[in-house]
Homo-oligomer: A and B are copies of this chain.
Amino acid sequence: MADDTDDILLEEKDSYALDDSLRGQVRRAVLDDDVAAIDRLMEPLHPADVADLLEQISAAERESLLQLWSTGIDGEVLSELEEGLREEVIAFLPSHVLAEAVRELDSDDVVDLVEYMEDAQQAAILDALDEADRAAVEEALSYPEDSAGRLMQREVVRAPEHWTVGEMIDHLRHHKADLPEQFYHIILVDPRMKPTGYVTLGRMLSTAREVELNQITEDSFRPIPATQPEEEVAYAFNQYHLISAPVVDDDGRLVGVITIDDAMIVQDAEAEEDILRLAGVGEGGLNDRVLETTKQRFPWLAVNLVTAILASLVIAQFEAAIAQIVALAVLMPIVASMGGNAGTQSLTVAVRAIATKDLTRSNLMRVVLREAGVGLINGLIFAVVMGLVGLVWFGSPMLGGVIAAAMVINLLVAGLAGILVPVVLDRLGVDPALASGAFVTTVTDVVGFFAFLGLAVLLLI
């Protein structure tokens, strides 16, 4: 077990993931230049776990480990590494090791590996592939970024429609070496290579040899255009519980297949992107360096500064009132803060509902009314609470009334802005996850300060 001294914060309580003990042993072996121990410890690890290990140790440890580890890194580990680290690790590898690693991969994994590389590095890796594989990767790269064409694998198991189960099984046995590592369906094609249906392996295995494949196709057949955006592909897999789906070109001809594991990765990445964008973090992993991370976070903070200054300009209009009643300065952030939080709640629900296609024209008005209702009710409750706080704290019923009224107004506005801002942004083609937060908090800050201080001027001064 790892020593207790740095046991202050994170406990390893998980069933999967690397345990601290193993990580500690690897780090010690690296420190001791103990090649035998490194090989022994690394050998049983799944490529995904090797990648995690490389991500979690320091850059210096990573460099030593890669130099000492004799069996060395394979293509699958490279695929599993997060993008930022991949290039660092690739730069370490002698070109023959890299070439070897890449040759093992399926075409979709090679595409995933090279698509965001600089041209020179990409060319070096493509050169390591044999002719057919390189052509496959290059064709995939000709499809738009984040499209089905980039996601698909070219290795497809297909058959003419009129084949029987027996013919197909014999064919598979004879072409064993050419089969993709994983496949779940036989795709039936007509003479012009257009997919016409698919057969699950389970169905085929339980059907007599003489039955034709076109007798046992599945209902849920949905070819995917190669240019379709990958989030639409993920949506289709999720919505229709697909396991694999054929990909077709503009002429409807079969060019590849997408499997559910690829769709799951996209789905995961989309949700992650939404979470980070909602928090004003564009992208970036845990291994990005300080300057990179600073650059990623700066734009949102800059936007927030502008909105905060806007709010301050509102406050500045009421300097005279604040000079007269300092309690206003004490209480005003409460109104703004409550509005900001209520707005964030509404907008998050709205952003997700747009992403999952649950919010449509037919239920928009109902949802808007609901958000208004929720804002109003919560506004009234907190108005009573804050009215009492204002009264007790500052002994002024009028001040209590002012903050109560401002609270109702701001929470109602927060609910409406929280739903309408993302909907309008989506309609304008802007990702609502990226920009809604700034707009909504500007609205709730400005309205919050203005309502509270404005009512104070009207009623108290």
CB <8 Å contact, B235 and A16: yes
CB <8 Å contact, A173 and B286: no
Chain A window 163-185, contacts with chain B (Cβ cutoff 8 Å), 1 for yes, 0 for no = 00000010011011001101110
**Considering the chains assembled together, what is the distance between the CA atoms of A305 and B334 in angstroms?**
7
Stretch at the interface among A50-58, A64-72, A111-119: A50-58
CB <8 Å contact, B201 and A298: no
**A90 CB within 8 Å of chain B:** no
Chain A window 16-54, contacts with chain B (Cβ cutoff 8 Å), 1 for yes, 0 for no = 111010011001000000000000000000101100100
CB <8 Å contact, A345 and B280: yes
**A398 CB within 8 Å of chain B:** no
Which residue on B lies nearest to A236, using beta carbons? B16
**Which of A49, A240, A294: most chain B Cβ within 10 A?**
A294
**A391 CB within 8 Å of chain B:** no
**A99 CB within 8 Å of chain B:** no
CB <8 Å contact, A367 and B56: no
**A268 CB within 8 Å of chain B:** yes
Minimum Cβ distance to chain B for residue A415 (Å):
9
**A226 CB within 8 Å of chain B:** no
Given contacts A15-B228, A173-B208, A301-B338, contact A423 B275 (CB under 8 A): no
**Considering the chains assembled together, what is the distance between the CA atoms of A261 and B243 in angstroms?**
8
How many copies make up the complex?
Answer: 2
Given contacts A239-B46, A367-B286, contact A297 B264 (CB under 8 A): no
Question: For chain A residues 253-275, which have a beta carbon within 8 Å of chain B?
Answer: 260-261, 263-265, 267-268, 271-272, 274-275
**A193 CB within 8 Å of chain B:** no
**A196 CB within 8 Å of chain B:** no
Chain A window 284-303, contacts with chain B (Cβ cutoff 8 Å), 1 for yes, 0 for no = 11100111011001101100
CB <8 Å contact, A275 and B271: yes
Minimum Cβ distance to chain B for residue A44 (Å):
11
**Which of A49, A352, A360, A364: most chain B Cβ within 10 A?**
A360
Q: Which residues of B contact A377 (CB under 8 A)?
A: 290-291, 294
**A361 CB within 8 Å of chain B:** yes
CB <8 Å contact, B326 and A374: no
Stretch at the interface among A125-133, A137-145, A309-317: A309-317
Q: Which 7 A-B pairs have the closest CB atoms?
A: A279-B348, A271-B271, A201-B201, A329-B329, A290-B373, A17-B357, A172-B206
- 6 CB contacts below 8 A, A to B, read A9-B423, A10-B423, A182-B200, A241-B261, A267-B267, A276-B352
